[in-house]
Amino acid sequence: MTRLSLLSLVASATASLSLPATAQTTPPQDAPPRLVVALLVDQLRYDYLERFHNHFSPGGFRTFTERGAFLTFAQYDYAPTVTGPGHASFLSGATPATHGIVGNDWFDKKSGKSINCVSDPDVSGVGVKSASSGKRSPKNFIGSTLSDEMRLRFRSKVVGISLKDRGAILPAGRNADGAYWLDSSNGHFVTSTWYRNALPDWLTRFNNRQLPASYVGQVWKRLLPESAYPWSDTSVGEGKLAGEKTSTFDHVIKPSPTEGLETIVPTPFGNTLLRELAEAAIDGEQLGRPGTTDFLSISFSSTDACGHIFGPYSQEMQDIILRLDLELERLFKFLDQRIGLNNVTMVLTADHGVAPVPEFAVANGFQGGRADLADLKPTAPAVPAKDSTSPSTSTTTASAPPSTSASTPEKKEPSKSEEGEKPVTAPPSGLMADLLKALSQRFQTPRILLSPKFYDGHLFYNHRELAAQRISLEDVNLFIREWALSTGRFQSIFTRNQLLDGRAPGALGERILNGYNAERGGDIVLVLKPFILPGGGRSGTTHGAPYSYDTHIPVAFHGRAFKPGRYADPFNITDIAPTLSAALRMNEPSGNIGKPFVKALK
């Protein structure tokens, strides 16, 4: 070696040692990431990221909206827009027509029971009080997900976490190393024997910290001065947290004698808990080690529980989003310290949006309502303005009627640890009671339907009874169609034969068709009008419709493979999986119908 070449070698080595650590570890552009993080925020409407943008921290949601590829017109291309199907479609590229998760639950015609989307009688709970609870798995999901394909391509370690069982299980696919969700009866995160027979040591240590119990008695205050919240804290139709007498700030977290620690779920403390669990999982499972491409899905459930109670234009909803932004900033800093964000690929989206509270909608000029109640009458504006056109920062509404939610218990989701299958025993009421009476009078039998319940608008016929009574299927279809339209509540009606034959015209029909599974779908599907919610509760709101307030969600990608920018191009939820598959240079999931968004790929 010549003296000149030796000096060049020394100079090169010295220069390398002087570079910052991040520069030294920057991987090649075409190298796969060490970790894929799939973030799903339950009930995150697209407009939240615009409405609250000015109050976001530099390193939370802005990581996606300012430094990622931000899809501003992403939509769900099917209905029902509810949690189970949303989590199943998120990383499968498929709709319920293919992956089979047609709702949070559905009526099983063989057993005559309501089946939870992740129920599995053949497994047992792990870490639960009773082995009969926690019977959960991805058994009902049909096909593969991104993480399943990653295991084949990279031999990835795959973990899914959420407060909800379906939120943890479905995005993680059929072959995850672990899926962990909250058992609210004891405040522990649990799993099932589908994945393992004992909790991992790191999770046992995490559970022993008893974080959920530590939130009881905590006070949820506004993060910002009240003037930063444009809508009133006393809007009509808002519900209340468990144990509270009013729907206004400040909120005290109280335990429930029947639901245990479930009461932390609709509050920001639920998001804090899940962020802490995510960090423990990354360390405990050693995710993202050099030479690996692992996968972690995180589904934040507290936004959904909060939105159901207070609605999308409440101060509580704004506040929980602002506080989640801070949790994301902490999580991203943790990822940067442990793995380096340049080694992480991330995606952010939601499983659905949410409708305005019907009373709020009516007070603001829309034809909203609750399907089982008489028409809501317009009252004074839900939010008295400082002038006649702008939202108010006032917290009192002299002209608004008091909340009536005290007279009707809040409708809430079942405890995360409850049994997965149950007979349909709820007595019919409202529209269903009226329909059963009309059917009985018209066809002279009370047994036309197998179940006295609308399953996301689906009704199931008793075909044995129809045959025995020589009742024409077409006669029943026509009768129910005309009955539904006569109520003034329904927009469209689709029969099973129409959907199986692909005869569902228009954008709305296409969404119903994409959400209809031939094996699990009903005999007829009834679609409510915009701003009319199912049921007859006196407060709160829900989702599930094929309308923009439920279908328009944010989608954003962050990582080396993506070109930062705002993209208003058409984009469906089913396009996420193929876009990530293209970025990772691997096969897309088996049931994928989406297309990669090549404009955002480098």
pTM of the entire structure?
0.89
pLDDT band for position 95 (cuts 50, 70, 90):
very high
Kindly indicate the confidence band of residue 25, based on its pLDDT and cuts at 50, 70 and 90: low
Percentage of the chain beyond pLDDT 70 is: 87
d(CA 161, CA 165): 8
Confidence band of 373 (pLDDT split at 50, 70, 90): confident
Q: What is the pLDDT of residue 416?
A: 41
On the question of pLDDT at 419 being above 80, the answer is no
Distance CA 513, CA 367 (A): 26
Q: Averaged over 100-117, what is the pLDDT?
A: 96
Q: Quick one: tokens of 239? A: 């519900």
Spatial distance between the Cα atoms of 515 and 85, rounded to a whole number of angstroms: 9
| pLDDT range class, residue 466, cuts 50, 70, 90 | very high
Across the range 288-312, mean pLDDT stands at 98
pLDDT tier for residue 28 given thresholds of 50, 70 and 90: confident
Residue 259's pLDDT band (cuts 50, 70, 90): confident
Q: Is the pLDDT of residue 400 over 70?
A: no
Residue 347 has, within 13 A of its CA and on its CB side, a CA count of 29
Mean pLDDT of 87-112: 97
* For residue 153, pLDDT beyond 50: yes
More confident residue, 397 or 120: 120
Per-domain residue ranges of the chain: 29-357+546-600, 423-533
Answer yes or no: is pLDDT of 273 > 80: yes
pLDDT at 559 over 70: yes
Query: Does residue 403 carry a pLDDT above 90?
Result: no
- 385 has pLDDT over 60: no
Contact 85, 78 (CB under 8 A): yes
Question: 67-81: per-residue pLDDT in tens?
Answer: 999 999 999 999 999
pLDDT tens for each residue of 487-505: 999 999 999 999 999 999 9
CATH topology of domain 29-357+546-600: Alkaline Phosphatase, subunit A (3.40.720)
> Is CATH 3.40.50.300 what the domain over 423-533 is classified as, yes or no?
no
* Cα separation, 53 vs 41, whole angstroms: 16
Q: What is the mean pLDDT of residues 119-147?
A: 93
pLDDT band with cut points at 50, 70 and 90 for residue 536 = confident
- Please determine, for residue 247, whether its predicted confidence score (pLDDT) is greater than 90: yes
- Least reliable range by pLDDT among 11-25, 45-59, 148-162, 389-403: 389-403
pLDDT at 1 over 50: no
What DSSP assignment string belongs to 33-99?
PSEEEEEEETT--HHHHHHTGGGS-TTTTHHHHTTSEEETTEE--SS---HHHHHHHHTT---HHHH
Alpha-carbon distance of 39 to 162, in angstroms, equals: 10
Tens digit of each residue's pLDDT (9 = 90 or more) over 156-197: 999 999 999 999 999 999 999 999 999 999 999 999 999 999
pLDDT greater than 70 at residue 232: yes
Distance (Å, whole) CA 534 – CA 246 = 24
**Mean pLDDT, residues 413-422:** 41
Let me know if 191 is a catalytic residue. no
pLDDT, mean of residues 437-451: 97
Closest C-alpha to 405, from 370, 434, 430, 378? 370
Q: Which of 63, 65, 81, 83 is catalytic?
A: 83
pLDDT digits (tens, 9 = 90+) for 313-364: 999 999 999 999 999 999 999 999 999 999 999 999 999 999 999 999 999 9
Percent above pLDDT 90 for the chain: 82
Average pLDDT over residues 422-426: 46
> How many Cα atoms sit within 13 Å of 249 on the Cβ side?
20
pLDDT of residue 381: 45
Instruction: Please give the pLDDT value at position 26.
Output: 72
Mean pLDDT of 85-94: 98
Whole-angstrom distance, CA of residue 362 vs CA of residue 40: 31
Dihedral sign, Cα of residue 520, residue 522, residue 527, residue 531: negative
Provide the pLDDT confidence category of residue 64 given band limits of 50, 70 and 90.
very high
Least-confidence region, from 397-401, 502-506, 550-554, 569-573: 397-401
In sequence order, what are the residues at sequence separation of 6 or more whose Cβ sits closer than 8 angstroms to the Cβ of residue 335? 35, 37, 282, 288, 341, 344
State residue 394's pLDDT score. 33
- Short-list 101, 105, 79, CA closest to 530: 79
Yes or no: say if 552 and 472 are a contact pair by the CB < 8 Å rule. no
Residue ranges of E strands in 314-440: 344-349, 369-370, 421-423
CA distances from 468 to 393, 445, 448, 523 (A): 63, 11, 11, 18
